[in-house]
Amino acid sequence: MGKITPFIEMTNIDKSFSGNQVLKQVHFAVEHGEIHALMGENGAGKSTLVKVLTGIHQKDAGVVKVNGKETTFTNPKEAEEKGIIVIHQELNIIPHLTVSQNMFLGKELTYGKTGIMNMVAMKKQTIESLKRLGVTNIHPDETAGNLSVGKQQMIEIARALATNAELIVMDEPTAALTDREIESLFKVVDSLKKQGVSIIYISHRMEEIFKICDRITILRDGQYIGTENIADTSFEAIVKMMVGRELGQRFPERQHQIGEVIFEVENLERKGLFKNISFDVKEGEVLGVAGLMGAGRSEVMEVIFGFHRKDSGTIKLNGENVSIKHPRDAVKMGIGFITEDRKAKGLVLEASIRENIALTNLKTVSNNGVISNSKENKMVMDLIERLQVRATGGEQDVKSLSGGNQQKVVIAKWLGIEPKVLILDEPTRGVDIGAKKEIYTIMNELTKNGVGIIMVSSELPEVLGVSDRIMVMHEGEITAFLNRDEANQENVMTAATGGSKS
Amino acid sequence: MKQFLTRNMAKIGPLIGLIVIMVILGVLSDNFFTLSNIFNLLRQVSVNALIAFGMTFVILTAGIDLSVGSLLALGSALTAGLLTSGMDPLLAVFIGLLIGLALGAINGIIITKGKVAPFIATLATMTIFRGVTLVYTDGKPITGLSDSFTFEMIGKGYVFGIPFPVILMLIIFVILFFILRNTVFGRQVYAVGGNEEASTLSGIKADRVKIWVYSLTGMLSVLAGIIITSRLNSAQPTAGSMYELDAIAAVVIGGTSLAGGRGRIVGTLIGALIIGVIDNGLNLLNVSSFYQQIVKGGVILLAVMLDRRSK
């Protein structure tokens, strides 16, 4: 006896797609009631491993054991019957259906075999399932689309539990949650663990993994690198395993001179979203903008950039009042904006890298409205090289790039305009740790050349590690300005939650 | 070779389809490959092709224009009105094209500034334009337009033995091909269709691009209308009805995505030729026009299904 059989045991898993091996001899085991982090850079094979486990892909070689018994799932439905459920980053919620309709989608309770739904029973079970998670503030008749992302996620978890899930795979579950929602998610995760449910936790956020996970398995380039107890390892050790080398400092050394004020915003207001927004940015400075989700930070940036109209306030560039009525005006003045949601607002996904980079630079690469192929190619290739975008060339579709490389394409298109002021909204979201550091390095290079950077970020370590000054927002207003040397987790969080005005 | 074929199936599929259909018709009918039939066919195609070229731009921006047929009728009637008033034919045609541009711009403005979905906006203007045409013409054809050589040339003339409408269509094709492929405006059309928000945030005035695209389509529709008017030497209030369907079909057969952002105007030219060849061939074979419609619908379905397959 001695050793307890793990719930899931995967050994020597191989998987190739059209000759390209993405998993090589991978091992992975999950105990009962364990929270197991699965980490690796984008493209390391995490999602492929999960897909092999749940039967979306078939393994080429290796053994998968569930409760000690060799098992092969041919589709996710079979995995679900064995209690293995995946909660994807993009939630599987139908927005115009109610909470209980979503809960029972595809397995509606009926009166016998009549096909008539038993609404009463479904609502009752919905309430019970949610209660099991400690969630009592979601009504079964509410329209799911009106709920916050955090609550929608709770519905998915409750749905998983209703099918007697023994293992829940969570793919970047906190990416779109507010801090408060993350807290309640962690509570739920913890109570699931106590009920003996195992969790595979996929995330790029190191802090979370150290907070809630028991063990961590690391993959790199499709290979198994190792499994560690969280208690016995460190941030640096994990990063080293992930990137295969010492990454050095997490935030690269900064060498820059802070100069004159180049960009000022005074009393900017958009009714119902934010008011009294005044700040400035100096040459070579990184102004971090911290706050909880929904604090109005992205909205301020979109108004500054002319994407939405302002109700009042003035904007000054180099001390002169400027009028920005459309993003085009901002672009002409040398203001760049790397948006939060790169897929919806940053990229034309169906188009090539070349076309995406050219989008902001059409004037530069054309003569009298006719695009010059040679100018365009030169600009694109220079930027691809400068940012080290890993791609087969300018003609590759951006859709097929990893998150980090997509983000580099977005940055590239804005570097093309040679910005004087660059706004970055969540520049490293969904980007792996190696690419993160590369993005910080690019930011450094820009500030060294006198560019003023405004960086909106919800990741506190990032805000603290990169900014020269930090502006904190809470519910549409500025609650604090903190210098680099006086800012810490506590005073930023206090200001972000509206604690004090300084 | 095989890899090349699978990779480029979406691009050359319609062309292969066209060739196959032409070979079949050539075998079935001795008259198909005669010079006079080919020119006749091309002249018929030119009207639909001109409208479909504009429609390609519209669909690339993820829009649709159902009003082209009515717009054609209204533009033609107004041009005919100018001609009967004794205006110089060239000037009348020029003003007619400007009217087309303006009517198209109305579509574009309703869609962008009025924030009405293109399908609904142009469904409404389709009815309105037709109504205005009927009011203006009192429901009767406008006849006795002009006996000027210039005006007759547009629909009936030949240059070096080639029908003038065909030459006109080819010239416009080359211009539009260049615009889509090599100009900033062309790039913006693709970008706005691919992701309007990202395009706007990149500094592109998406509204302006869209208004231009509908204006272009309006102008091309009236040009098609003037060809018909010249050929019949009269403007019919019912001209152009259902033309929007053939135009959309040509664009779709040519592989342009209704979701916007992807497609080529060469495909549309081939799509228009496929439709024209089928119409012409089935006529030659004395197939009843009832069956013709069934065949045409089948070809549209087949083209779209093959296109889906290759992705």
Q: Tokens 């999950």 correspond to what residue?
A: A30
Distance CA B263, CA B96 (A): 30
DSSP three-state, residue B28: helix
> How many CB atoms within 10 Å of residue A272?
10
Q: Is the pLDDT of residue B7 over 80?
A: no
Q: Is the pLDDT of residue B216 over 80?
A: yes
DSSP-H helix ranges across chain B = 2-28, 35-60, 68-84, 89-112, 118-137, 149-156, 164-182, 184-194, 196-201, 206-232, 243-253, 265-284, 289-309
Distance CA B76, CA B55 (A): 19
Q: Are B67 and B122 in contact (CB under 8 A)?
A: yes
Closest residue in B to A306 (Cα–Cα): B201
Residue B108 DSSP symbol: H
DSSP three-state, residue A335: strand
Q: A501 or A215: whose pLDDT is higher?
A: A215
B205 and A346 within 8 Å at the Cβ level: the answer is no
**Which of B184, B194, B202 is facing A350, going by the closest CB pair?**
B194
**Which of A337, A348, A369 is facing B194, going by the closest CB pair?**
A348
B203 and A366 within 8 Å at the Cβ level: the answer is no
C-alpha distance from B61 to closest chain A C-alpha (Å): 13
Q: Which residues of A touch B184 (CB under 8 A)?
A: 362-363, 366, 369-371
Q: At what angle do helices B89-112 and B118-137 cross, to 10 degrees?
A: 140
Using a CB–CB cutoff of 8 Å, tell me whether A359 touches chain B. Answer: yes
C-alpha distance from B193 to closest chain A C-alpha (Å): 9
B197 and A366 within 8 Å at the Cβ level: the answer is no
Q: Is the pLDDT of residue B3 over 70?
A: no
Distance CA B75, CA B249 (A): 23
When scoring A326, A348, A425 by the number of chain B Cβ atoms within 10 A, the one with the most, hence best to mutate, is A348
Distance CA A459, CA A467 (A): 12
pLDDT of residue A3: 61
Distance CA A388, CA A405 (A): 9
> How many CB atoms within 10 Å of residue B182?
16
Closest residue in A to B259 (Cα–Cα): A350
Sign of the dihedral defined by the CA atoms of residues A475, A481, A483, A488, in that order: negative
Using a CB–CB cutoff of 8 Å, tell me whether A346 touches chain B. Answer: yes
Distance CA B50, CA B64 (A): 15
Q: Is the pLDDT of residue A22 over 60?
A: yes
pLDDT of residue B308: 67
Q: Which residues of A touch B187 (CB under 8 A)?
A: 355, 358-359, 362, 371
Element (H or E) spanning A133, and its range? none
pLDDT of residue A180: 77
Q: Are B261 and A350 in contact (CB under 8 A)?
A: yes
Q: Which of B40, B103, B58, B116 is nearest to B77 (CA)?
A: B103
Q: Is the pLDDT of residue A500 over 60?
A: no
Q: Which residues of A touch B194 (CB under 8 A)?
A: 348-351
Q: Are A144 and A155 in contact (CB under 8 A)?
A: yes
Q: Are B286 and B303 in contact (CB under 8 A)?
A: no
A348 and B204 within 8 Å at the Cβ level: the answer is no
DSSP-H helix ranges across A163-277 = 179-194, 206-212, 235-243
> How many CB atoms within 10 Å of residue A500?
10
B190 and A307 within 8 Å at the Cβ level: the answer is no
State the virtual CA torsion across A75, A81, A83, A84 in degrees, nearest 10: 10
Q: Are B182 and A370 in contact (CB under 8 A)?
A: yes
**Which of A328, A350, A362 is facing B184, going by the closest CB pair?**
A362
Q: Which residues of A touch B183 (CB under 8 A)?
A: 366, 369-371
> How many CB atoms within 10 Å of residue A132?
16
Q: Is the pLDDT of residue A2 over 50?
A: no
Interface residues of chain B, partner chain A, Cβ below 8 Å: 182-185, 187-188, 190-191, 194-195, 197-205, 261-262
pLDDT of residue A246: 63
Q: Which residues of B touch A416 (CB under 8 A)?
A: none
pLDDT of residue A1: 39
Closest residue in B to A372 (Cα–Cα): B182
Q: Are B76 and B234 in contact (CB under 8 A)?
A: no
pLDDT of residue A236: 82
A199: which strand partners?
Answer: A35, A168
Pair type for strands A223-229 and A215-220: antiparallel
Longest CA pairwise span in chain B (Å) = 62
The mean pLDDT of B285-300, rounded to a whole number, is: 87
Residues 6+ apart with CB under 8 A from B26: B32, B33
When scoring B188, B199, B202 by the number of chain A Cβ atoms within 10 A, the one with the most, hence best to mutate, is B202
A281: which strand partners?
Answer: A263
Which DSSP string do the residues of A141-163 spell out, in sequence order? TSBGGGS-HHHHHHHHHHHHHHT
**Which of A344, A359, A366 is facing B202, going by the closest CB pair?**
A359
Residues 6+ apart with CB under 8 A from A283: A257, A258, A259, A260, A261, A262, A450, A451, A452
**Ordered structural domains, chain A, with CATH:** 1-73+201-248 (3.40.50.300), 261-334+419-496 (3.40.50.300), 352-411 (no CATH)
Q: Which residues of A touch B62 (CB under 8 A)?
A: none
Distance CA A367, CA A498 (A): 52
Q: What is the per-residue pLDDT across A410-449, written as a single tens digit (0 to 9) for each?
A: 999 999 999 999 999 999 887 878 888 889 999 999 999 9
Q: Which of B255, B243, B260 is nearest to B72 (CA)?
A: B243
Q: Are A6 and A63 in contact (CB under 8 A)?
A: no
Q: Are A337 and A305 in contact (CB under 8 A)?
A: yes
Distance CA A326, CA A310 (A): 11
Mean pLDDT check: name the lowest of A176-180, A377-381, B73-77.
A176-180
Q: Which residues of B touch A371 (CB under 8 A)?
A: 182-184, 187
A-B CB pairs within 8 A amount to 77
B197 and A347 within 8 Å at the Cβ level: the answer is no
Candidate ranges A105-109, A119-123, B268-272; pick with highest mean pLDDT: B268-272
Using a CB–CB cutoff of 8 Å, tell me whether A305 touches chain B. Answer: yes
Q: Which residues of B touch A377 (CB under 8 A)?
A: none
Closest residue in B to A303 (Cα–Cα): B201
Q: At what angle do helices B149-156 and B89-112 cross, to 10 degrees?
A: 60
C-alpha distance from A349 to closest chain B C-alpha (Å): 7
pLDDT tier at A367, thresholds 50, 70, 90: very high
B197 and A345 within 8 Å at the Cβ level: the answer is yes
Q: Is the pLDDT of residue A501 over 60?
A: no
When scoring B184, B196, B201 by the number of chain A Cβ atoms within 10 A, the one with the most, hence best to mutate, is B201
Q: Where are the domains of chain B?
A: 16-21+31-306
Closest residue in B to A302 (Cα–Cα): B201
Task: Give the distance from CA A392 to its chain's centroid.
Answer: 25
Structure token pair of residue B171: 């010239």
> How many CB atoms within 10 Å of residue A118?
16
Longest CA pairwise span in chain A (Å) = 80
**Which of A332, A345, A358 is facing B187, going by the closest CB pair?**
A358
Which DSSP string do the residues of B263-281 spell out, in sequence order? --HHHHHHHHHHHHHHHHH
B33-45: b (≥16 Cβ within 10 Å) or e: eeeebeeebbbbb
pLDDT of residue A225: 92
Residues 6+ apart with CB under 8 A from A99: A126, A138, A139, A140, A141, A142, A144, A147, A155
A339 and B201 within 8 Å at the Cβ level: the answer is yes
B205 and A363 within 8 Å at the Cβ level: the answer is no
A3-13: b (≥16 Cβ within 10 Å) or e: eeebbbbbeeb
C-alpha distance from B92 to closest chain A C-alpha (Å): 30
Q: A112 or B124: whose pLDDT is higher?
A: B124
Structure token pair of residue A61: 């070689």
Residue A342 DSSP symbol: I
pLDDT of residue B10: 62
Distance CA A256, CA A51 (A): 46
B258-276: b (≥16 Cβ within 10 Å) or e: eebbbbbbbbbbbbbbbbb
Closest residue in B to A370 (Cα–Cα): B183
pLDDT tier at A248, thresholds 50, 70, 90: low
A359 and B182 within 8 Å at the Cβ level: the answer is no
> How many CB atoms within 10 Å of residue A146?
12
Q: A2 or A173: whose pLDDT is higher?
A: A173
Structure token pair of residue A51: 């897909």
B201 and A370 within 8 Å at the Cβ level: the answer is no
C-alpha distance from A368 to closest chain B C-alpha (Å): 9
ipTM > 0.90 (yes/no):
no
Residues 6+ apart with CB under 8 A from A231: none
A349 and B195 within 8 Å at the Cβ level: the answer is yes
Residue A49 DSSP symbol: H
pLDDT of residue A502: 43
Closest residue in A to B193 (Cα–Cα): A348
Q: What is the per-residue pLDDT across A252-290, written as a single tens digit (0 to 9) for each?
A: 877 778 999 999 999 999 998 999 999 999 999 999 999
Task: Give the distance from CA A335 to its chain's centroid.
Answer: 24
CA distances from A331 to A173, A359, A423, B162 (A): 35, 11, 12, 49
A327 and B187 within 8 Å at the Cβ level: the answer is no
Reading phi first (left if > 0) and then psi (alpha if -120 to 50, else beta), residue B264 is in beta
Q: Return mean pLDDT, chain A.
A: 89
pLDDT of residue B31: 87
C-alpha distance from B18 to closest chain A C-alpha (Å): 27
DSSP three-state, residue A387: helix
CATH class of the domain defined by B16-21+31-306: mainly alpha
Q: Which residues of B touch A360 (CB under 8 A)?
A: 202-203
Q: What is the per-residue pLDDT across B197-208, written as a single tens digit (0 to 9) for each?
A: 999 999 999 999
Distance CA B46, CA B276 (A): 9
Mean pLDDT check: name the lowest of A40-44, A215-219, A276-280, A479-483.
A40-44
Q: Which residues of B touch A370 (CB under 8 A)?
A: 182-184
